[in-house]
Amino acid sequence: MDALLSGVELLARWDVLVALFIGSVGGVVIGAIPGVGAAVAIAILLPATFSLDPIVGLTILLGIYGSSMYGGALPAILINTPGTAVNALTTYDGYPMTKRGEARRALALAYSASFFGGIFSILCLILLSPLLALIAPHFGSREIFLAALLGIILVVLAHRGQVFAAGMLVGFGILLNSVGLEPIKYTRRFTFDQTWLASGFDLIVVVLGLFALSQAFLLLVDKDNTPHPQPIEGSMLSNLKELWLYKRVASAASGFGVLMGMIPGVGEFTAQFMSYTYAQKTSKTPEAFGEGSPEGLIASEAANNAVPGAAMIPLLALGIPGEALTAMMLSVFYVHNVIPGPQLFQNQLDFVYALYIAMIVLNVIVMVFLLFSTNLLTKVIQIPTRFLGVVILTLSFVGVYSLRNSVVDCAIASGFGILGLILKRLNLPLVPIILGMVLGGIMETKLRTSMVRVKTPWDFVDRPIAAILVLLIVFVLLMHFRTLRREHKERIAEMDHDHDVHTSQQG
Amino acid sequence: MIRAKTLQDLFKRYRRPGDLVFAWAFLAFSLFLWFNLDAQTETVKGTKWAAQPSFWPTVAVYTMVGFGALHLVSSFVSPKLEGRWREVGFWLRSFEYAAWFMAYVVLVPRLGYLPSTILFTVVLTIRLAYPLRPFLGAAVALAVTVVVVFKSFLQVKVPGGQVYEYLPDTLRAFMLTYF
């Protein structure tokens, strides 16, 4: 309780509150613009937050992370274009509702489901925190190494149908992390006698290139497009209480969001598909799914909004990011010398609680903002896409150049921008590169330190958590191959497969 | 997230034009790294395998080669898609905007952040063939807003321009600090 009160105290500062407001509202606006998304915004703002207090900088980024999906539902429902990648499933039922003249109802359901999912996950985390504080100290080097390895395996396997591409891109990410002067033995790795390669690849430069510059290039090269959504008439307040009729779906979807959010490498997409499938299977009207079913809409929105809170668990408790956005946040922690991991839960539980409370407040701010500004946001959607490219490019400059005023950094970011554009065009995932980079670094350090006490392979798993993690890795791999074998035996007709490589994994 | 329902899904999958070109390029790059692995990494005597500087680059390159080869195979056995080279043309067109961006980067320390940003947004708006009204105003407003928010307000590290040296003392100090 003391930690909770102390957490509230940490937040009771005008600069934190302003940051919370800017992050929440900014996140909604950014999320509402198709083609921008939280990853682009966070990548651009990262260097700007380095000069701020840890809690202020993190609050802005958390605000954007937690609120962008609210905004992303707006174009998904009104113009059939998801604002952020994870709102893709919202279009299935949201847009048909708009076509039926139920846009206001669809938006109100999406907002209320998002709010429910967001709050549900944070409450779960607050309840779980004492338990995490108890378990986290039992994670030593080898356990963190194994958890990171599990994350790498999961991020590859979670890209079903793109497993090979995800695998090679994870490898590329691990390679990027290893380039340069190695800090222990001071040897050079893949520097090709080039001085600009000696310092390696900065995570933020790569992130900015892959997410922000690539998006700018994509918008600038592609055809111009200016969507024109219809304005929403009437108040949404009356439609909000309809969520109560679907409380079972909302609770289950939020539960899926929390569970999937906690597992590194899995995230929003798996949570959404699991909750959507569950909602459809248990619905009295499964045929309505994809045709404007309120249950489908709720399943999608509640699940994806429950993930950000839960994704903070592996990040804060173990220092392991589960996806690209938390990987970016990890760099903010490092810059401010706040090292996420078991020690954080033991020694700075108030800081952890402050982050959770900030997330609750941001959900409330976003909800109030959306109820009164939906029509304003429909105007934001109307920015021509190529001009939006100019905006992102101009902002990306601040992100890359302000890091260390390096022209080389900008050139590297441009190179990754072109690579990101190619991957986006090919519908290949970007996230494995970032996770490969971050988790690769964690694995390298932790394996080195953990091997000091390991004499035989059995020593590696002689602690209960390490043994459980190894069993989990074996189980995940076995389940993957078992599923493939079973599916192969069933020989489902080729046209029955879902070959659609959804763009939702672009981050 | 896609639902692959059979083993064939791993090899035959929905693709976009240009997939094969990228798969070839990635594998070629991976093989280049593989051939350079010994020359570009070192093995230190008396050090455990896990602490060897060459261990993680080796893991990375082998992963890239292995998965890259499988990715290439999957592209080969999938039906050919039309528009491969048109797609490659699309990728190459992005180099133009990368060049604009780099020109902007080079210009900032010379002209200063505010003038360079205004020049960059205006020139790019004209290049994109937007009508001058209202987009020219929007471009200038964008440039001024970005500079004011990031340089004047958040004080991000962007150096003052060389041309600021020619300004009168008081104005120079003001421009160096805020624009």
Q: With an 8 Å Cβ cutoff, are B1 and A160 in contact?
A: yes
Q: Does residue A496 form part of some domain?
A: no
pLDDT reported for residue B3? 41
Q: With an 8 Å Cβ cutoff, are B41 and A190 in contact?
A: yes
- pLDDT tens-digit readout, A215-271: 899 989 988 777 777 777 767 677 777 778 888 999 999 998 888 888 877 767 778
Quote the minimal CA–CA distance from A241 to chain B in Å.
31
Question: Mutating which of A397, A407, A488, A492 best tests the B interface, going by the most B Cβ atoms within 10 A?
Answer: A397
- pLDDT tens-digit readout, A298-357: 998 898 888 888 888 888 888 888 777 888 888 777 777 777 877 787 777 788 888 888
pLDDT at B11 over 70: no
Q: Does residue A494 form part of some domain?
A: no
| CA angle (A55, A119, A105) in 5-degree steps | 125
Alpha helices in B128-165 (DSSP H): 132-147
pLDDT reported for residue A322? 75
CB-CB: which of B51, B56, B94 is closest to A217? B94
pLDDT reported for residue A224? 79
Per CB-CB distance under 8 Å, the chain A contacts of B108 are 397, 401
Query: How far apart are the C-alpha atoms of B39 and A126, rounded to whole Å?
Result: 51
pLDDT at B80 over 80: no
- Grade residue B8 by pLDDT with cuts at 50, 70 and 90: very low
Per CB-CB distance under 8 Å, the chain A contacts of B33 are 175, 190
pLDDT reported for residue A491? 60
Question: Mutating which of B5, B24, B154 best tests the A interface, going by the most A Cβ atoms within 10 A?
Answer: B5
Quote the minimal CA–CA distance from A229 to chain B in Å.
21
CB A300 within 8 A of CB A92: yes
Query: How far apart are the C-alpha atoms of A16 and A7, rounded to whole Å?
Result: 12
Which position has the token pair 């390096």? A406
pLDDT at A424 over 80: yes
In the structure encoding, which two tokens stand for residue B73, read together?
A: 């195979």
In the structure encoding, which two tokens stand for residue A334, read together?
A: 């490092």
pLDDT reported for residue B14? 60
| CA angle (A274, A157, A153) in 5-degree steps | 120
CB-CB: which of A184, A398, A425 is closest to B150? A398
Q: Give the whole-number percent of chain A exceeding pLDDT 90.
A: 14
Query: How far apart are the C-alpha atoms of A302 and A322, rounded to whole Å?
Result: 19
What is the ipTM, given to two decimal places? 0.91
pLDDT at A87 over 60: yes
Q: Average of pLDDT values for A21-26?
A: 88
- Grade residue B143 by pLDDT with cuts at 50, 70 and 90: very high
Which residue from A minimizes the CA distance to B104? A397
Query: How far apart are the C-alpha atoms of A259 and A356, rounded to whole Å?
Result: 17
Size of interface A-B (CB pairs under 8 A): 264
Q: Does residue A237 form part of some domain?
A: yes
Q: Does residue A495 form part of some domain?
A: no
pLDDT at B9 over 90: no
CB A267 within 8 A of CB A323: yes
pLDDT reported for residue A503? 43
Which residue from B minimizes the CA distance to A169? B64
pLDDT reported for residue A267? 67
Q: Does residue A144 form part of some domain?
A: yes
- pLDDT tens-digit readout, A438-477: 889 889 988 888 887 778 878 888 888 889 999 989 998 9
Query: How far apart are the C-alpha atoms of A296 and A287, rounded to whole Å?
Result: 11
Single-letter residue type at A48 = A
Distances (CA, A) of A215 to A36, A106, B178: 7, 29, 29
Single-letter residue type at A317 = A
- pLDDT tens-digit readout, A117-164: 989 988 888 888 778 778 878 888 888 899 889 888 988 887 777 889
For residue B8, which of B67, B78, B63 has the smallest C-alpha distance? Answer: B78
Q: With an 8 Å Cβ cutoff, are A497 and B130 in contact?
A: no
pLDDT reported for residue A98? 86
pLDDT at A102 over 80: yes
Query: How far apart are the C-alpha atoms of A185 and A183, rounded to whole Å?
Result: 6
In the structure encoding, which two tokens stand for residue A251, read together?
A: 């609770």
| CA-based max dimension of chain A | 70
CB-CB: which of A175, A192, A220 is closest to B64? A175
pLDDT reported for residue A359? 86
pLDDT reported for residue B121? 95
pLDDT reported for residue A492? 54
Query: How far apart are the C-alpha atoms of A58 and A20, rounded to whole Å?
Result: 9
Which helix (H) or strand (E) segment holds residue A189: the answer is: strand A188-189
Q: With an 8 Å Cβ cutoff, are B158 and A398 in contact?
A: yes
pLDDT reported for residue B1? 36
Number of structural domains chain A divides into? 1
CB A69 within 8 A of CB A116: no
Quote the minimal CA–CA distance from B167 to chain A in Å.
23
Range of the domain at A254: 2-488+501-506
Q: Does residue A202 form part of some domain?
A: yes
CB-CB: which of B6, B50, B59 is closest to A488? B6
Q: Does residue A126 form part of some domain?
A: yes
pLDDT reported for residue A332? 76
- Grade residue B26 by pLDDT with cuts at 50, 70 and 90: very high
Average pLDDT of every residue of chain A? 83
Query: How far apart are the C-alpha atoms of A390 and B146, rounded to whole Å?
Result: 12
